[in-house]
Chain A
């Protein structure tokens, strides 16, 4: 039977929209299928996007896309119960184009991206759930939806971290507790003037905070990003950590938003939305087989996200992998050859790009980051040190080394500290 479409992309998230847009723009007959009511209605992310990948696909996308703010200030905060030690970087270079990173509200953003796909000539079918892949022997030849077959030469699985298609294609099983983290987030509304004043930013500049020590000792951390008229605040914790402790996911946010140095940042804000999402954290070791006959995997479905402890990236990986899948399909189209060996060009492109190179660079990071001391011992230690440094009460002072030694006693040995510092080379 003849294929109705050259390519079917399943999932109108960032990776799916990037793939479909790229294909449509080059005149490929593409169908983008989305289970939500419109592109974006199932999309959620922390909200910090590094712009380079999308800028490459749609130059100066920020001129037309619903971008929230350009991140000018990055703050790293180590939290103990009642205090915080922060390091802040102000980059004036970051608030001029080409922008380094911006904040987005991904649902709104992908609604825009979906409309770009349509403008480029792609067909978007929303409210449509793909139940399974359609096979001809070992070759994927389309999808099944609502009991009907839709045929294509290639199917691109962009159906997210919980991808059902990668399981049907047997390229990987479900992600286990060590391969994913749970992110829980709330968007809270604040007037633009309040954001500018409170975060000391001007115009459409914004700030991004990363917190360590707010995850109840579990592997994870927190974030706070300023949007145009709202703030995204969230906590990420490894599923295996959540299983081991007696923590409740419904309370994950609470330690962060009630922390004395964070609560003031969202004081008086109106809660607007509450969301949750799994984040691939398995790194290079968890990347599945990325292609088969007539089939490619992109974005979160492929586990493309990188965590270097302080930098959590997924959205630029999603966009780049979608665009590279499109490139590989266009090469395949020229030769009318959609076999696995032809489509493996996709993996070559990824290997040459930051997607698999960065994942490889941080391949040992998951092991280093599973060290529990990073999430309570060290943030506590640093906060206590700073407190001792500044607390002057008339008692005789100790020199800095003495203070460090005293603070470390019973918490962490010198050997462990040196070990952990050396381990940080994996970041």
Chain B
């Protein structure tokens, strides 16, 4: 199937991941303002931030470790880390 017809999930499915049991990014709900929430829902190129029963959640599945969420939000809104050594996205082309 051609690229333009693929959804973001299908695009991410092209990639190779070694997903860890633990999440490397956590949302700090106390400091994550409404504006940060709105930005996080849009800014992640892998759509890792979604609303679940009225609350913002992060799913580590598909995270490309780009750091857009970290650069775009106010300090402390999220706690951002890389996945542990050997885990996360494994680019084959890059």
Q: A residues within 8 Å of B by Cβ?
A: 35-37, 40-45, 105-110, 126-129, 145-146, 161-162, 164, 174-177, 179-180, 182, 184, 186-188, 230, 233, 239, 242-243, 246-250, 252-254, 257-258, 263, 266-269, 271-278
Contacts and interface: CB of A to CB of B under 8 A. Distances in A.
Contacts of A269: 2-3
B93 A164 contact: no
B64 to A, nearest CB: 4
Q: Which 4 A-B pairs have the closest CB atoms?
A: A107-B94, A127-B86, A129-B85, A274-B11
Contact of A162 (B1, B45, B70, B85): B70
Nearest to B42: A248
A223 to B, nearest CB: 15
Given A243-B43, A266-B3, A250 B70 contact: no
B86 to A, nearest CB: 4
A276 B45 contact: yes
Given A186-B3, A257-B4, A274-B64, 9 more contacts: A35-B82, A42-B89, A107-B94, A164-B81, A242-B68, A250-B44, A250-B47, A252-B45, A267-B2
A112 to B, nearest CB: 12
B93 A105 contact: yes
A187 B93 CA distance: 8
Contacts of B3: 186, 188, 233, 253, 257, 266, 269, 271
Contacts of B44: 249-250
A278 B42 contact: no
B11 A127 contact: no
B94 A108 contact: yes
Contacts of A109: 94
8 contacts: A128-B86, A175-B71, A182-B66, A257-B3, A263-B4, A272-B14, A275-B94, A276-B66
A185 to B, nearest CB: 9
A37 B86 contact: yes
Contacts of B43: 182, 239, 242-243, 249
B93 A127 contact: no
A273 B70 contact: no
B90 interface: yes
Interface in B56-94: 64-68, 70-72, 80-86, 88-94
A187 B92 CA distance: 10
A127 B5 CA distance: 35
Nearest to B64: A276
B93 A107 contact: yes
A109 B88 CA distance: 20
B46 interface: yes
A233 B2 CA distance: 13
Contacts of B94: 40, 43-45, 105-110, 273, 275
B31 interface: no
Contact of A271 (B11, B46, B66): B11
Nearest to A110: B94
Contacts of A277: 64, 66
A35 B85 contact: yes
Contacts of B91: 40-44, 106-107, 273, 275
Contacts of B85: 35, 126-129, 145-146
B92 A37 contact: no
B4 A254 contact: yes
B88 to A, nearest CB: 8
Contacts of A129: 82-85
Contacts of A44: 91, 94
A147 to B, nearest CB: 12
A15 to B, nearest CB: 15
B56 to A, nearest CB: 16
Q: Which of A44, A126, A257 has the most CB of B within 10 A?
A: A44
Nearest to B85: A129
A177 B71 contact: yes
Contacts of A36: 86, 88, 90
Contacts of B4: 254, 257-258, 263
Interface in B26-60: 39, 42-47
A277 B4 CA distance: 20
Contacts of B1: 271
Contact of B82 (A105, A164, A187): A164
Contacts of A128: 85-86
B72 A242 contact: yes
Given A182-B66, A274-B15, A249 B92 contact: no
A239 B43 CA distance: 8
B11 to A, nearest CB: 4
Given A271-B11, A273-B14, A278 B71 contact: yes
A182 B47 contact: no
A348 B82 CA distance: 32
